[in-house]
């Protein structure tokens, strides 16, 4: 079935350290993998995404890697800052009939960056 | 662009009452999604529309839930009758294609926090 597993559920790091969040997905046909950041009481916001024809993508302190063979992808945040504290969600696209896709989200990782 | 606009921001209602949530997608976005977020179940896709047509409603929990998109700039999610277990934050999101069968990133609205007492 359609499933996205996300680990860890909580992550606590010191400011300046790196943080890594990992996700696995169930369908080898998935081809789009976005990451969202949700601050307390706010909406989820897209921070980075990757498509299946790419193995890695970087945007300043954030990077995402994709291993299609193993069906897993990861978010890497370097030089963490207190404002990185939030809940992070991974997602994967799952195909529907008619050429459509739908996004299924992981359960989220609560990241706390301590000064 | 004002982004995806949802109303109301907060709704408190009594069990058994009808609740209607509203969403205005970003102009030009032809995909619209309704998600429900709870601590227990995370972000669940309820239904999504393409060009105002429902494509997948397999996530709609029960017949008490219904959604419509009468035109490209407006959608509603209705719960009738509401129950306490429907309490959650309901998000609307929209996007458009960026390539062949490739969707762009979703833009979420601010959500409606529904409390059914």
Above 90 in pLDDT, residue A95?
no
Per-residue pLDDT reduced to its tens digit, A64-85: 999 999 999 999 999 999 999 9
Q: Is B2 left (phi over 0), alpha (psi -120 to 50) or beta?
A: alpha
Instruction: Name the phi and psi angles at A84, rounded to 5.
Output: -80, -10
Above 80 in pLDDT, residue A19?
yes
User: What is the DSSP-derived secondary structure letter of residue A68?
Assistant: T
Tokens of B33: 């999604």
Interface of A with B in 18-77 (CB under 8 A): 31-32, 34, 36, 42-46, 49, 51
Above 80 in pLDDT, residue B99?
no
Q: What is the pLDDT of residue B37?
A: 96
Rounded to whole angstroms, the Cα distance separating A76 from A65 reads 8
Q: What is the pLDDT of residue B100?
A: 59
Nearest CA in chain B to A43: B110
Above 80 in pLDDT, residue A105?
yes
Judging contacts by C-beta atoms under 8 Å, the chain B residues touching residue A36 are: 108
> What value does the mean pLDDT take over residues A27-47?
94
CB-based contacts of B6, cutoff 8 Å, min separation 6: B21, B22, B23, B24, B90, B91, B92, B109, B110, B111, B112
Judging contacts by C-beta atoms under 8 Å, the chain B residues touching residue A103 are: 33, 45, 103, 106
Partner-chain contact B43 A51, CB within 8 Å:
no
pLDDT-based confidence at residue A53 (cuts at 50, 70, 90): confident
DSSP H or E run through B44: strand B42-50
Rounded to whole angstroms, the Cα distance separating A45 from A40 reads 12
Which of B42, B102, B107 has the CB atom closest to A32's CB atom? B102
Q: A112 and A9 in contact (C-beta within 8 Å)? A: no
Above 80 in pLDDT, residue B101?
no
Interface of B with A in 58-87 (CB under 8 A): none
Partner-chain contact A43 B50, CB within 8 Å:
no
Which of A43, A46, A104 has the CB atom closest to B91's CB atom? A43
Per-residue pLDDT reduced to its tens digit, B50-97: 999 999 999 998 899 999 999 999 999 999 999 999 999 999 999 987
Q: What is the pLDDT of residue A16?
A: 97
Q: A71 and A3 in contact (C-beta within 8 Å)? A: no
Rounded to whole angstroms, the Cα distance separating B86 from B82 reads 7
Give whole-number Cα distances, A32 to A41, B59, B69, B103, in Å.
Answer: 26, 20, 26, 8
Rounded to whole angstroms, the Cα distance separating A46 from A33 reads 11
Residue ranges with strand state E in chain A: 4-7, 10-14, 19-25, 32-38, 45-51, 56-59, 62-67, 72-77, 86-95, 101-105, 109-114
Q: What is the pLDDT of residue A98?
A: 80
Largest CA distance in chain B: 45
Which of B103, B107, B108 has the CB atom closest to A101's CB atom? B103
DSSP H or E run through A59: strand A56-59
Above 70 in pLDDT, residue A108?
yes
């Amino acid at each position: 079935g359609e499933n996205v597993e996300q680990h860890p559920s909580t992550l606590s790091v010191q400011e300046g350290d790196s943080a890594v969040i990992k996700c696995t997905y169930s369908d080898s046909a998935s081809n789009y993998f976005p990451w969202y950041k949700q601050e307390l009481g706010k909406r989820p916001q897209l921070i980075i995404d990757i498509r299946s024809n790419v193995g890695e993508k970087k945007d300043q302190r954030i990077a995402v890697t994709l291993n299609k063979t193993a069906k897993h992808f990861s978010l890497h945040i370097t030089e963490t800052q207190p404002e990185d504290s939030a809940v992070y969600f991974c997602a994967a696209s799952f195909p529907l009939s008619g050429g459509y896709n739908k996004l299924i989200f992981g359960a989220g990782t609560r990241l706390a960056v301590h000064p | 662009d004002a982004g995806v606009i949802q109303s109301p921001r907060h709704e408190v209602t009594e069990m058994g009452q009808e609740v209607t949530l509203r969403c205005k997608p970003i102009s030009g976005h032809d995909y619209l999604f309704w998600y429900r977020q709870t601590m227990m179940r995370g972000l669940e896709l309820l239904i999504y529309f393409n060009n105002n047509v429902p494509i997948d409603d397999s996530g709609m929990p029960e017949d008490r839930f219904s959604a419509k998109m009468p035109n490209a700039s407006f959608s509603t999610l209705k719960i009738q009758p509401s129950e306490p277990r429907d309490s959650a934050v309901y998000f609307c999101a929209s996007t458009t294609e960026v390539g062949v069968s490739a969707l762009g990133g979703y833009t979420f609205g601010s959500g409606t926090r529904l409390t059914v007492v």
